[in-house]
Amino acid sequence: MSPARTPPTGSSRDRLREAAKILFAERGYETTSTAAIARLAGTSQSQLIKHFTNKEGLLEAIFDHAWQQINPAIQMATQAIDDPKEKLRVLLEMVMNFMEKDRAQRALFLLEGRRIRGSSHVVAFVPGFREFIRTLDGILSAMSENGELAPGVHPQALRSALMGTLESLLRDQLLAKTSKFPASYSDEDIRAVFTRMMNSCLAEGG
Residue range 183-206: mean pLDDT, rounded: 89
| pLDDT bracket for residue 90 (50, 70, 90) | very high
- pLDDT of amino acid 132: 94
CA–CA dist 67, 139 (Å, integer): 18
pLDDT tens track for 16-25: 999 999 999 8
pLDDT tens track for 37-47: 999 999 999 99
Which residues are within 8 A (CB) of 71 and not within 5 positions of it... i.e. 6 or more apart?
128, 131, 132, 135
| pLDDT bracket for residue 2 (50, 70, 90) | very low
CA–CA dist 5, 104 (Å, integer): 11
* Residue 119 confidence (pLDDT) above 60: no
pTM for this one?
0.84
- pLDDT of amino acid 110: 85
